[in-house]
Every structure is written in C-alpha cells, then in structure tokens.
Chain A
C-alpha cells in the first residue's frame, strides 16, 4: 500500500498517529471556515437563530439567500462586473504575455537586450501608489473598468516565467517550420503553444485570480459604486456589515431588504466570491506539481 523504501524502518505507531492527527488538523483548519460559511449561507433564518449565529451542524437548508442575492441589485451587478473584468482582463493579459514571452525568447534578435532589460528592471522599483493614481487619472481612466485592467495587465514576473519555458523548447522543433516558410505567429500558434499548455494554464490562472480578487485598484480608481467589483461589495457589506441599501446614490437595492443583511446573505456573498476559485483551481492544480511554477515562487 505504500512505497516506503526497503531500508527505512516502519514508522512507530505513535509517530504515525501523531502525523496523521497533525495532517488532519491542518486540512480541517483550511476547510472548516469554508464549510461553516457555506453551510450558514444555505441555512434558513430559523437555523441561524437557533445556532445563535454561524451554523456548524446542518439543520434547516434553504437557497433563499442566493435567490435574494441574484434577484438583481448590488451583488448581482458586482458579480457581473467581476466576471467581465476577469474574462476581458485575463484574455488581454494572457495574449500580451504569451506574445511578448515568445518575442523575447530569442537572444540576439533585434532590440532583445534593451527590451528584456526594461522588463527585468520593473522587479527592482515600483512607481508607487500616488504616481500610479495620477497617471490613471490623467489618462481619463478613473471610473472606467479599464482602470482595473490596464495598470496591471502585464506582470513582468509571469512574462519571465513564460519566456523561460519557451526558451527550453529546442530550436530544432521550430526551425523546420521556419524553413517551410511558416511565420513566427504561426509557429507560436501551431507549435509552441500546444507544447506549453501547462504553463499557459498556470499563468492564466494567476492572471484570472488577480483580476477576480482585484480590490484595491477598485477602491482607488472607482468612485462610482455602481461599478464596484465583488471584492469591494464583500468588504462593504460583510466585513464592515453595512446596510445593503445604498441610499444617496440610488443604486439598485435588494427587494424587500432594508435592514443590515442577514448572516445567511452575508455568507452567501462570501461563497460567491470563493466559488470561481474553487471551480477553476482543480483543473490547474495538477500542473503545479509538474514544476511549472517552481520559478514562480523564487521571485
């Protein structure tokens, strides 16, 4: 059942038990808060009242919180905003990054060195929050969704990881296509990319998660709360527990919801913020173990 090497002594019973206990504790430590939040979001008002708050043992289940959230209003809108920004942003970032990683993957090509230097130098010094804000504002991007996408569209780090991967593809593979007259775009699309599915998936996940989680850029650049992405809504209504009616600006409200949001609804917002990550993650996870992102950590 195990692949213990022949020279290793069998673990002692106490040792094995302790190890198992520790691992269980760690796993439960990660999963329990998520379980509790999900269960509370699916509980009836009575179950929440009976538990005196968060529900840990299922009693009455209902989808009421989700029905209310998606009946149109602040949360529905913010989910759509977050989804849109994530899809468009990831598409742009991934395209730009793949192209540049390939374009910079051949040392000795024209302007290769200064361009690479430009990319690498961004590791050492960030421009800082205030100048960033001034730039975004002078480009007229305040209160546009582009302010959530363009400033972080290319991460030098992702670009460099991808480039390193492309550089490991042997020249012979692409050379024959080049001799047959294929241009670089075609080589990238038909030969290099199919060989790089893993790294593309991982970098895509990094970008997508970044956009889905984007919070501070929205706080900084979006004054109009009708444009808020989900993370800002999560902070406002769950972390700070504000009432879901946003009176003065006349933003859409939850029908029949004038009190501070009930716990179930708050937890449902948390689940909605969590769910896409939970869904996409298992499909990309297997690439982590293949060493694709070892480089990703060392930065």
Chain B
C-alpha cells in the first residue's frame, strides 16, 4: 500500500495538502481491487472498524458545522424570518438575487474588494519573494534563524492586535502624530483617512504576513541546485546575473502557482481586518463583500438578502477557484487539487 505513496515522493505528499497524492492512489488501488476481487463488506468492517471510529468525530463535526449550514443557504430563496423558521418561511424564488443585482452598495462592496485584491497583488505579493531572497542571502545560519523567527511572528497576532498596533503608531494619537506635533508640525490620522486606506491595509498585511509568506519561497530557494550557481560564477556571471538567470527561474513555478491561487481567491480579502476598520474609515472605502453581508443581515435583519449575497460571493469564488486551478494545470502545476 505504501509503495504507492512512495512514488509521489516523501515531500510530495506534504507540499500538496489537498492532493496529497490521494486520488491517484485510490485509482490505482481501485484498479487493483477490481483485479483482485474486493473483500466482502463484513470482513472489511472487521478489519477497519477502528480506523472508521477514529475518523468519525472529525467527519461528524464537518457534517454538522460545514455541510448542514451549506444546506441552510436555501433561505436565500425565501423570505426568511427567524420567528417562523426555515420550514414555514415563504419561498420567493430569485427575488433576493434580483434585488441584489440592482443594489448599488453591493456593487460598491464588490468593487472595493476587487480593488483591494488588485492593489495587494501589486504591492503585497512581491514582498515575500524579495524578503525570501534577502533572507536566503544571509549566510550565517544562526543569524538567519533569528531573523526568520522575528519576521514570522506577527503572523500569529490577531487582527485586533495588528490594527491596534498600527493605530498606536499611525493613528491620531499615535507615535508618529505625537512626534510631528512635538516638532511643530500638524499631526495626521492614517487610521480614519479613506484616501489612504488601501495603503494602510496593505501595510498591515505586509507587517503581519509577509514574513510568514517567505516560507514557501525559502523552500523553493533551498531546492535550487547549488551547482548552477557555481557553474555560472565560474563562467563569470555577476551576482545580479545569477539572481536573474538562476534564482528567479527557480522560483518561477511557485510564483506562478501562488499568483494563480490568489486570483482564484480574488473575492476573499479577509474579513476581520475590514470589519475592524470599517467604522473608522467609512463604508465608501472599507466595505468589502464579507462586511456587506454582515451589516445587511445582522444589523437590519434581512436574513435572506444577506444569505443571497453570501451565496453569490461563494459561487463566484468557487468558479474562480476552478478556473484558476485549470490555469495552474495548464502551467503544469498542481493547484489545490489534482488534475483528474
């Protein structure tokens, strides 16, 4: 059984969480059992009941907290009222979706979401790559480990904490404003300015996640054959030429893959970051699709309408993921699931 996995490589399994070489294994397995005639259900149950029992709690939790609410999306086609319940709420067909299509605030939120994604693609996405190349050039292992430890850390802070820290640095009463005022300039408040909001959220994202994002690029850098560098150096290629002709091509597959996957997640910019700053900055700049759903539903009680918006976002997101994976396969990459 395990020889099958061995073929996908020891690291291959780890680096593809969704694939993990499973579909392939199962198919191979299937063809083998067809030849070898499947064992009767009873004997398989007797052999595997312990494994089944072990998987049960997780499967149960996923069924209850993932698949049951998935069905709850039917309220998007109803005029749902919590006092009446799903069973007795009247069905309204696609009315909610029709309203949604003519809802300006919905399109504003969509536009904001896409703008943020585009802005972060340009100003966040390259940062981990550059940082990884920089870290990789630190030759002293202990120093490198030390810096890595520090830049990974903010990934584990909550958004509340990150936004608070930024407020203390760049807010109206923050350190920067305070210092400026001490020196006779007027202070400013980056935290409530809708014009600079894109810069602010991107800076926050860089501070929190750019360090953590280097991990995958560092792994790719470590996998580059060192002999290539040596050969190039012997042939007289300068440091920069080596970076351009060896390092970058070595990183290319990972860059392409992550870029495609990010495009597939174009509608997901993260919820808490925007939820926390929406009031201070204002809806015009900070309303994204997720916060739109939240405010429309839980504050105004338009359950069905919010669910419809959420469903639209989910379905479009699904299509985007499927497309981006198709593209990833086209580039010869794995994507989040395997080509079938």
Give how many B residues have a beta carbon under 8 Å from the other chain's beta carbons: 120
A122 x B66 contact (CB < 8 A): yes
**Residue from B17, B65, B169 having most chain A Cβ neighbours under 10 A:** B17
Inter-chain CA distance A164–B61, complex, in Å, is: 21
The A contact surface, by secondary structure, is helix
Q: Which A45-68 residues sit within 8 Å CB-CB of chain B? A: 52-54, 56
- Chain A residue with Cβ nearest B128: A297
A103 x B275 contact (CB < 8 A): no
**Residue from A116, A130, A135, A168 having most chain B Cβ neighbours under 10 A:** A130
- Asked whether any CB of chain A lies closer than 8 Å to the CB of B233, the reply is yes
- Asked whether any CB of chain A lies closer than 8 Å to the CB of B321, the reply is yes
**Candidates A122, A168, A288; contact of B215 at CB < 8 Å:** A288
**Candidates A184, A285, A291; contact of B152 at CB < 8 Å:** A285
A23 x B138 contact (CB < 8 A): yes
B50 x A184 contact (CB < 8 A): yes
**Candidates A30, A31, A168; contact of B13 at CB < 8 Å:** A168
Q: Which A75-95 residues sit within 8 Å CB-CB of chain B? A: 95
- Asked whether any CB of chain B lies closer than 8 Å to the CB of A171, the reply is yes
A161 x B307 contact (CB < 8 A): no
Given A5-B230, A150-B61, A160-B20, do A130 and B54 touch, yes or no (CB 8 Å)? no
Shortest B303–chain A CB gap in Å is 6
- Asked whether any CB of chain A lies closer than 8 Å to the CB of B298, the reply is yes
By a CB distance below 8 angstroms, the chain B residues around A53 are: 173-175, 178
- Asked whether any CB of chain B lies closer than 8 Å to the CB of A159, the reply is yes
Interface digits, B23-60 against A, CB 8 Å rule (1 contact, 0 not)? Answer: 00110010001000000010011011111111111110
Q: Which A257-289 residues sit within 8 Å CB-CB of chain B? A: 267, 270, 273-274, 277-278, 281-282, 285, 288-289
**Candidates A106, A128, A168, A270; contact of B69 at CB < 8 Å:** A128
B158 x A134 contact (CB < 8 A): no
Given A19-B134, A30-B154, A231-B160, do A164 and B13 touch, yes or no (CB 8 Å)? yes
Given A26-B147, A122-B66, do A167 and B152 touch, yes or no (CB 8 Å)? no
A33 x B165 contact (CB < 8 A): yes
Interface digits, B184-207 against A, CB 8 Å rule (1 contact, 0 not)? Answer: 000000000000000000000001
Interface digits, B146-173 against A, CB 8 Å rule (1 contact, 0 not)? Answer: 0111111110111111011101110001
A298 x B15 contact (CB < 8 A): yes
Inter-chain CA distance A34–B208, complex, in Å, is: 13
B14 x A104 contact (CB < 8 A): no
By a CB distance below 8 angstroms, the chain B residues around A282 are: 149
- Asked whether any CB of chain A lies closer than 8 Å to the CB of B2, the reply is yes
Shortest B251–chain A CB gap in Å is 14
Q: Which residues of B contact A (CB under 8 A)?
A: 1-2, 4-5, 10-11, 13-18, 20, 22, 25-26, 29, 33, 41, 44-45, 47-59, 61-73, 75, 82, 86, 131, 134, 137-141, 145, 147-154, 156-161, 163-165, 167-169, 173-175, 178, 181-182, 207, 211-213, 215-216, 219, 226, 229-230, 233-234, 239, 257, 271-272, 275-276, 290, 293-294, 297-298, 303, 306-307, 310-311, 313-314, 317-318, 321-322, 336-337
